[in-house]
Structure 1
């Protein structure tokens, strides 16, 4: 079922006021030399600029540009209403008023363009109910004492004794040859053969000569 349309006193008052303001603007534009359809376009331009500025103010209350163009459009509407109330001779409109009416289209176009293409500033106030709380950091108690730590210091691990390298294995033939040299030296000199002399005769490294000497002594 369609809803029944009931008369609203405020709506009726708005329609009457808009019609009267529209007529006053038309009469003033016609008296200023704008005839035909031009005179009807002036009230449309003023009312559209007024509505555009008001809609801008609803989304951005602190927009100075919107307030400026709202005051300009409101002044144009009020000025036309007052001028056509008998205070101005519409048969002899002054030159400054003719210039103002002729320049209104460019001014209205500039205002409408700025209102449409100006960026809307985002509100900086926090949105109610949208509170994002950061988790609180846990409390950490720090106790400072000047006494040294009573716990004993860990004992330093002693380095292990170096492992002595194993004695080289002396082949049996080499050992017999060294024994013969040592016996020949004892027989000719009557004293044991020194290790350095044996090393010089054999031409072997010191560790190998030492191993041969040890085995000859043990033998």
Structure 2
């Protein structure tokens, strides 16, 4: 009985100390789209809205005790702790979970596939493999001005949590033997405008409330 209790306590402690990777999702808009629709390769048009998501468990990565694992080192990270993906107008892309790395630059953290940043892209209009796509690209999060170069995964996490940070997903290369390029960046979605009838309704309800209040006073 005592041994069972110890086992249960140990299991609970292990669960409590295991870090959980957080997912950060940002709204983005396509700002560059160069494709070859005449050859069957069609990218989402400029202005298309989508999302970019980052997966990061900074606590687990910073505390793994491995000197070869860190920001700016090419050693692939545990796929349960780091990754990035995009879903934009039918286009989907994600980092190869077996080779995700994070590099630090001035005011920027780049999530990429190893040293060469090769990116695989899926499109509803055609099989990218059959179209001969060869793309290099990455997912980046930019901290606000003056944020410096991230030196730890906690620094990258701070970028992802900062409301002033921006993100970008981009790639370029060839498809159907011709140059192609794509870039999507952070966008703040405008609030949905209220129709004129809705404004009139709010005005009417406000007026009715004021009239009831006046009657109670008199």
Q: Common fold, TM-score beyond 0.5?
A: no
Q: Return the structure number with greater relative CO, CA threshold 8 A, min gap 6.
A: 2
Larger radius of gyration: 1
Q: TM-score, normalised by structure 2?
A: 0.19
Is the strand fraction higher in 1 or 2?
A: 2
Is the helix fraction higher in 1 or 2?
A: 1
